[in-house]
Structure 1
Amino acid sequence: MGYPRKLTRRFRAFDNFAISFTIINIISGIFSSFGFGMNAGGPLVLVFGWISVSVLVLFIGASMGEIASAYPTSGALYFSAGKLAKHNKGAWSWYTGWLNFVGQVGGTAATGYAAATFIQALVAMQWPGYEVTGHRTVLITAAILLLQALANTYTVQLVAVFNRISVWWLLIGMVVIVTALWVMPEHHQSASFVTHFANNTGFTSALYGGMLGLLVTSWTFTGFDGSFHMSEETVRATVNAPRGIMRAIGYSAITGLILMLALVYAIRDYGKEAAADAPPVQVLIDALGMGTAKLLLLIVIGAMLFCGLANMTSNTRQIFAFSRDGAMPGSRWWHSVSPRTRTPVKAVWLAAACSLILVIPGWWSKTAFTAIVSVNVVGLFLAYAVPIYLRLRLSDFQPGPWHLGRWGRPIGIVAVAWILVSNVLFMLPHASPITVTTFNYAPIALGVVLIIATAWWFATARQRFQGPVSYGSPDEVAAMDLI
């Protein structure tokens, strides 16, 4: 791919799958957004939205996997955009990289924020006098980001070990939660309950309220580009990276549907639980009792922490690669690698700091979580769409060992179409009436990044940034390898 090797190639096929599976993280995604879905569409959208969006995400993953097989680098999306563009390679690569960056930061921030919310819910269950506040949520999120950054500063083997543990934590945890929700409650909702619709968003349009509920599934299925970003640290990356993407999405779709159905059928008092500060926690309490709910919350919080750790790892590799091509302020800092751990330590701390900045509005905003989620979903999926769109325009695309054959174009068209439709939706208001505390600031956060990227592009970057840098011929680059 034209780069001297700095990162250690020690991720096996399972490790590559594990990072995307951990970032998707069905327990974290479903529990953190279940309450939003209860009020934006209810069981009808939670269940059937999950099924339909999962299929559409598989289309996106397949198209991304085909590109990952052709361009297995840490630069992933922005690198492939620069290679696939016919003209203006630098501009396509530049904007894809910045969208990917803000989406990755949004994912790390949202997962940490969700974990902080559930930690406070658990504390409040244990000590009823504890008051849950936005201030405390932000401070706990900062502590979580600090711990995850420390973990990411050590060797890639440590991150790989955490990711392996996280896969089993997720699978065993899901079995425990689902079994408890099916066996322990005295009664469940009737089979027809999955058709129940609810719109408590404040908007009069039931269609709009229900469409907002698709955010639950879309938020869960983000970050599978992690397998792509870890390509330079994965053995046989041309095959194992795309397989990691597809397996992570497929297994998450099936296991997530089982978990979603278990939560939906365990609902008892819909109005009370939907209005609770943490609706899925209230569902667990009402269905299983306080003691069991506390134990299951430990599983949920652990899953969220693993998810955030993997998010930050992927975020860091994107920063490292983007800086390697001189596309970020202070690039020479962010693409440096620790000689002891062989990890981009400075990029880790930049990822943590940017995530914290995105969380700060939670100090006063009631819709901070959905806004951060929107930044995550919109930034990442637009970054996913660009190389897929460019691949559709390229008649002489040279696929890698893993490819879609004649199905590549139709699958890619569906993928891009869904990304455009969903991203427009997630930039719109999520609650009514629209006030300072309910305003969806995702368009502002995304707009600020794009304005900065555009100003910088026309000021200086377009003269020096021409897309991914080539350091020489394969033989010359091999001689530069630092490992």
Structure 2
Amino acid sequence: MPEATEPKELSEDEKHLARLGYSQELNRTWSSFSNFAISFSIISILAGCFTTFYQGWNNGGPIAISWGWPIISLFILIIGFTMSELVSAYPTSGGIYWWAAKMGGPAAGFFTGWLNLIGLLAVTASVAYGAATFVDLTLTTVSSGWADGYSLTRIYVIFLIILVIAAGLNVFGGHLMAIVNNISVWWHVAGAAIVILVLVFIPDTHQALSWVFTHEVNNSGFNDNQTSGLKFWFLVLPLGLLLTQYTITGFDASAHLSEETSAASEAAAKGIWRSIAYSAIGGYVLLLAFLFAVQDPEGVSAGGGSVDVIFGQALPEGWHFLVLLISTAGQLFCTAACMTSCSRMTFAFSRDGAIPGSKIWSKVNPKTKVPTNAVLLCAVVGAVITAPALVSVNGLPVAFLAVVSVAVIGLYLAFAVPIFLRWRLGDDFEPGSWHNGRKYKWMNLIAVAEIAVISVYFILPFTPTGVPGNADFAWSSVNYAPILTFGTLIVLAIWWQVSAKKWFTGPKHTIDETVLEAFDS
């Protein structure tokens, strides 16, 4: 047997990977900080807190944000702890798909993998599109001529340019993306700090502490826009909590990059929970700064709850431009990181034969050690599924919003499967160096319950006009998430029964069986 296959010649990371059935194909050049950085960049408080602020404002107002953000963040942190334990035991690029297949068999792996991949593709596209809208918005603040030329076609062209740049950075090399993500962390930290300081010192007046923590807004159309009664507290307000759930997602990236991270069993585990914790703290301070800076609450509601309205009220043009520029750059970093995570999941899922054309998408560039074809596939699919954004309904890219609405549900449902399977496995689970001890018994149940509850709210109509049977019902207001989610599950179920279960057997080994037996002995 060649010396290169002898266990003694391998690092501890390579030995661990070999025990899981894989040889080292990707460059293991990512540090613990870089692993944390990619999840922190994908969560991106400079993206979600800006682009989804309206969700919290319109559905509850300040209380949905000042109280909702820390409460939901705590639940998401528990989800993160359960996933940290899993990645420590199974540090592979397949991430949650691989964990599900290991603990629940091929069917669990197949459904989890596709939900995860579809979610990552949609999230990558939606983040890139959000970045494109902010590039356009930033230019609009300094050019009236640019503002006059607004169109969805222009947004889509900017979106395509962003996708090309993100793909180019990823194709060039994994080490480059590690550096980019490291820079991204400091941009997010410094950028958020600058935005907070600007909103503290530049506005002439600020809202009172009591207003930030007690004021209620109902701009949803439900409950006659009243802020009292059970419908407000159990329908409207929970819809506002989706701001937090949408923003703090994508942290499974630390798992997808574990095969490129040194000391992955510890580093990837810490990368997941730390990215959640630090984003929760930073995002909370940032959102509070937004709320304190509100000058005219009625004006914000009239503007659809857009955070840009707050900036327009509180800041002179130059400061307004600076804040948008900081957020836009953060969203560009986020897009590149999303592309990295998506491509690694595509590579890993293809390596195990789950995606049509797997041999193409699982190829690794021998020079850069990057799954180049997987990167390009993610970019092309992102461009295709975003094409409906060219169609306008009342000035909005409704068809595209319908496509990406399934993204977060898909990701969190995929998270729930291995978390539940680990709980079911109980003490038979073999933990890695980072684990939750006996706390898994309640942590995993809470995590699954939170995902189940929040998923219900993700599929509810967001406005009365989206409720079938309503006198003012309009298809443009429908929340297509339940249709797309259940439709996806039905298609996957048919595919599994008709074909996939005959050829998909779960994770495949890429090393010789005798070598695997040597590591297992």
Q: Which amino acid aligns with 2:361?
A: W
Moved more, 167-176 or 430-439: 430-439
The answer (yes or no) to whether the contact 1:23–1:310 under 8 Å persists in 2 is: yes
Residue 143 of structure 1 pairs with residue 161 of structure 2: yes
The answer (yes or no) to whether the contact 2:84–2:272 under 8 Å persists in 1 is: yes
SS of alignment partner, residue 93 of structure 2: coil
Q: How many percent identity over aligned positions? A: 42
1:161 alignment partner, one of 179, 187, 197: 179
1:134 alignment partner in structure 2: 152
1:116 alignment partner in structure 2: 132
Deviations 1:288-345 (A, max 9, x none): 1111110111110000000111011001100100000000111111111112211111
Q: Which amino acid aligns with 2:346?
A: I
2:504 alignment partner, one of 449, 465, 479: 465
Residue 383 of structure 1 pairs with residue 414 of structure 2: yes
The answer (yes or no) to whether the contact 2:55–2:305 under 8 Å persists in 1 is: no
Deviations 1:92-132 (A, max 9, x none): 00000001011111211121121111112122222224243
The answer (yes or no) to whether the contact 2:203–2:315 under 8 Å persists in 1 is: yes
Q: Residues 445 and 307 (structure 1 numbering): CA distance in 2 closer, same or farther, change over 3 Å?
A: same
Residue 407 of structure 1 pairs with residue 423 of structure 2: no
2:368 alignment partner in structure 1: 341
Deviations 1:228-250 (A, max 9, x none): 11010000101100101111011
Counterparts of residues 217-366 of structure 1 (less than 5 Å): 217-276=244-303, 279-363=306-390, 364-365=392-393, 366=396
Residue 433 of structure 1 pairs with residue 465 of structure 2: yes
| Deviation, structure 1 residue 473 | 5.6
Q: Residues 338 and 98 (structure 1 numbering): CA distance in 2 closer, same or farther, change over 3 Å?
A: same
Deviations 1:341-361 (A, max 9, x none): 111111112111222233233
Q: Residues 160 and 332 (structure 1 numbering): CA distance in 2 closer, same or farther, change over 3 Å?
A: same
**Cα separation, 2, equivalents of 1:49 and 1:167:** 25
Q: Residues 376 and 141 (structure 1 numbering): CA distance in 2 closer, same or farther, change over 3 Å?
A: same
Structure 1's unaligned 5+ residue stretches are none
| Deviation, structure 1 residue 478 | 11
Q: Which amino acid aligns with 1:124?
A: T
The answer (yes or no) to whether the contact 2:351–2:362 under 8 Å persists in 1 is: yes
Question: Given the two structures, how large is their TM-score scaled by the length of structure 1?
Answer: 0.95
The structure with higher relative contact order (CA 8 Å, sep 6+) is: 1
**Cα separation, 2, equivalents of 1:403 and 1:355:** 36
Question: Given the two structures, how large is their TM-score scaled by the length of structure 2?
Answer: 0.88
**Cα separation, 2, equivalents of 1:147 and 1:450:** 33
The answer (yes or no) to whether the contact 1:219–1:373 under 8 Å persists in 2 is: no
**Cα separation, 1, equivalents of 2:336 and 2:99:** 25
**Cα separation, 2, equivalents of 1:274 and 1:349:** 41
The answer (yes or no) to whether the contact 1:58–1:250 under 8 Å persists in 2 is: yes
**Cα separation, 2, equivalents of 1:475 and 1:220:** 45
Q: Which has the larger radius of gyration?
A: 2
**Cα separation, 2, equivalents of 1:326 and 1:317:** 14
| Deviation, structure 1 residue 428 | 1.7
**Cα separation, 2, equivalents of 1:452 and 1:357:** 20
**Cα separation, 2, equivalents of 1:370 and 1:215:** 15
**Cα separation, 1, equivalents of 2:517 and 2:198:** 54
Deviations 1:361-383 (A, max 9, x none): 33325356764553221011111
1:2 alignment partner in structure 2: 21
Moved more, 468-477 or 274-283: 468-477
Residue 25 of structure 1 pairs with residue 44 of structure 2: yes
Q: Residues 222 and 240 (structure 1 numbering): CA distance in 2 closer, same or farther, change over 3 Å?
A: same
**Cα separation, 2, equivalents of 1:133 and 1:381:** 33
| Deviation, structure 1 residue 420 | 0.6
**Cα separation, 1, equivalents of 2:199 and 2:388:** 35
The answer (yes or no) to whether the contact 2:76–2:447 under 8 Å persists in 1 is: yes
**Cα separation, 2, equivalents of 1:393 and 1:198:** 42
Q: Residues 267 and 292 (structure 1 numbering): CA distance in 2 closer, same or farther, change over 3 Å?
A: same
Structure 2's unaligned 5+ residue stretches are 1-19, 224-230, 467-473
Q: Which amino acid aligns with 1:397?
A: F
**Cα separation, 1, equivalents of 2:335 and 2:182:** 14
The answer (yes or no) to whether the contact 1:273–1:282 under 8 Å persists in 2 is: yes
